[in-house]
Structure 1
Amino acid sequence: MNVDLLSIWRKLGPIAALAVGLSSALPAAAQDKPVIRVAVEGAYPPFNYLDQNNELQGFEVDLLQALCDAMKAECMPTVHQWDGIMRGLLNKEYDAIMSSLEITERRQKRIAFTNPYYRIPAIFIGLKEMPAGDVTPRALAEKRIGTADRSDHETYLKEFYKESEIELYGKTEEANLDLLVGRLDAVFGDKRFLTKFLESREGGCCHILGDAPANPAYRHQSYGIGLRKEDVALKDRFNAAIVQVMADGTYDRIRAKYFSFDIK
């Protein structure tokens, strides 16, 4: 995607669908590259958001540009609220969704997904007095571990950490506070949020004990580009582009702007 076009669609994201509608009315010969309309929520930083100038920013916005460059296509974002975003895809209001759409069995019954373009790892954190390294179920037996209620993290702990005391919280932030005052030995959760806590003034108390162990493996939350099931060729093009940007270093350069850890 050239710089001029990127500048335009960052500024006009909310009305990009109208621009695309006009461009699609032009004769095919007048369009140098195929246009792919992509829905983005624009309200989930740092993945996608509208800045103070109403311009689309974020990891997914930058990655979308790179994928479209790899496909030699022009991508036009359509800012769409989260509610109804899949319905809009099925109604052909746009061609794809790239807005932190988690790949789930339920959603796969309605739409297709590309291969994941990011995953969210899970980690254990604890007070600095607690040694890092071994976070297996045996190592954390009889330890008090906090996590978010009704989450994948709760499911994992209850399945594999049966000898630990699992404490559930409405929000991970509440578990962090109990860790801070010594009511917990560890907190298990989303690496994004826990890393952010560790970087805060309060988080100076604590450190990473370790990633979720390889055995038993934690089922990472995976996110892909949503597509209509019949658009097989478009899915193949996106998948090839994802492979390309991950192989040539483009993905890591973009990721490093937003995250200090790997999310592939």
Structure 2
Amino acid sequence: MKLTSILGSAAALALTATAATADIKIGFAAEAYPPFTAKNAAGEWEGFEVDLKNALCAAMEEECTVVDVAWDGIIPALLAGKIDAIVASMSITEERLKTINFSDKYYNTPAVLVAPKTSDMSADSTDGKIIGVQVSTIHQNYAEKHFGGADIKTYSTFDEHNQDLTAGRVDAVVGDSIAFADYLAATPDMEVKAELTDEAVFGPGVGVGMRKDDTELAAKFNAAIKQIREDGTYDAIGKKFFDFDIYGG
């Protein structure tokens, strides 16, 4: 009996130690989304959200492991326990809040409509046009709600709809204004035609996605976001990538 008790106690201690040192599995969308996340030539993640993740984990004094997940499977991966948190430019929306929880926002940038400079495209003249959007995004939701007379074409990645815009296979695309920066710089015959607004669709900004029952983890992320905002870490990270305050109003 004593041996059993000792073994049982040892097993319990081992489990406790394992739980205490368990990594928080952070889900990044596997597809490149610069300047937020992208892999360099060495296959290492870099970008605003990579540095932000590092700062948040340091503030929480937690070890974090990055797990690559395809964007359209990232919420299912969270719900299945394959990851513990989503740091992937996911906007806080009423629809998503039915399924998962979010931290406080950590940035907020507007959505835009992009099309060739030579076109007369506007947010009010999309009927009969082909509009490209990334699947399972707020941008798809916006296009389906507001551009009912257009043919909405979905893509697995942001880069794919940009490639089709360049090739003339779509008339315009909808996406995050900052994510378009590199594309617009490299493709001077394209421009922003309109800034799009709809609080019900876009929500208050981007947050860390978590399971609804992970309230302790949510509290940790919120405290970490507050800490790095107050101690200057957030601003230092932002200035590496942007010439404006990406936190937004």
**Partner Cα separation in structure 2 for residue 120 and residue 205 of structure 1:** 23
- Which residue is 2:132 aligned to? 147
**Partner Cα separation in structure 2 for residue 87 and residue 158 of structure 1:** 26
- Which residue is 2:52 aligned to? 63
**Partner Cα separation in structure 1 for residue 217 and residue 227 of structure 2:** 15
CA contact (8 A) 1:122 1:188 kept: yes
Aligned to 2:218, the other structure's residue is in SS state: helix
Is structure 2 residue 201 aligned with structure 1 residue 219?
yes
- Which residue is 2:9 aligned to? none
**Partner Cα separation in structure 2 for residue 86 and residue 257 of structure 1:** 30
**Partner Cα separation in structure 1 for residue 138 and residue 211 of structure 2:** 27
The alignment of Structure 1 onto Structure 2 pairs a total of residues equal to 216
Cα pair distance change 1:244/1:260, threshold 3 Å? same
Is structure 2 residue 229 aligned with structure 1 residue 241?
no
Per-residue CA distance 1:15-60 (angstroms, 9 max, x = gap): xxxxxxx99639xxxxxxx867321346444445665556554333
Is structure 2 residue 196 aligned with structure 1 residue 204?
no
- Which residue is 1:121 aligned to? 110
**Partner Cα separation in structure 2 for residue 187 and residue 109 of structure 1:** 27
Match of 1:250 among 203, 225, 233: 233
Instruction: Please report how far the alpha carbon of residue 113 of structure 1 lies from its aligned counterpart in structure 2 after TM superposition.
Output: 2.4
Match of 1:100 among 84, 88, 93: 88
Give runs of aligned pairs for residues 156-235 of structure 1, distance below 5 A.
156-161=142-147, 166-171=150-155, 172-173=161-162, 174-178=164-168, 184=171, 186-200=172-186, 203-212=187-196, 214=197, 216-217=198-199, 219-220=201-202, 223-235=206-218
Instruction: Please report how far the alpha carbon of residue 123 of structure 1 lies from its aligned counterpart in structure 2 after TM superposition.
Output: 0.6
**Partner Cα separation in structure 2 for residue 155 and residue 110 of structure 1:** 16
Instruction: Please report how far the alpha carbon of residue 205 of structure 1 lies from its aligned counterpart in structure 2 after TM superposition.
Output: 1.0
Match of 1:77 among 64, 70, 78: 64
Instruction: Please report how far the alpha carbon of residue 232 of structure 1 lies from its aligned counterpart in structure 2 after TM superposition.
Output: 2.7
Q: What is the one-letter code of the residue matched to 1:168?
A: I
Q: Which has the higher contact order (CA 8 A, sep 6+)?
A: 2
Cα pair distance change 1:158/1:227, threshold 3 Å? closer
What are the ranges of 5 or more consecutive residues in structure 1 without an aligned counterpart? 1-21, 27-33
**Partner Cα separation in structure 2 for residue 257 and residue 23 of structure 1:** 41
**Partner Cα separation in structure 2 for residue 112 and residue 36 of structure 1:** 21
**Partner Cα separation in structure 1 for residue 173 and residue 234 of structure 2:** 30
Per-residue CA distance 1:184-220 (angstroms, 9 max, x = gap): 4x543343553332121xx1112222311x4x55722
- Percent of aligned pairs with the same amino acid: 27
What are the ranges of 5 or more consecutive residues in structure 2 without an aligned counterpart? 1-13, 156-160
TM-score by length of 2: 0.61
Cα pair distance change 1:126/1:37, threshold 3 Å? same
CA contact (8 A) 1:124 1:209 kept: yes
Aligned to 1:67, the other structure's residue is in SS state: helix
Cα pair distance change 1:178/1:110, threshold 3 Å? closer
TM-score by length of 1: 0.58
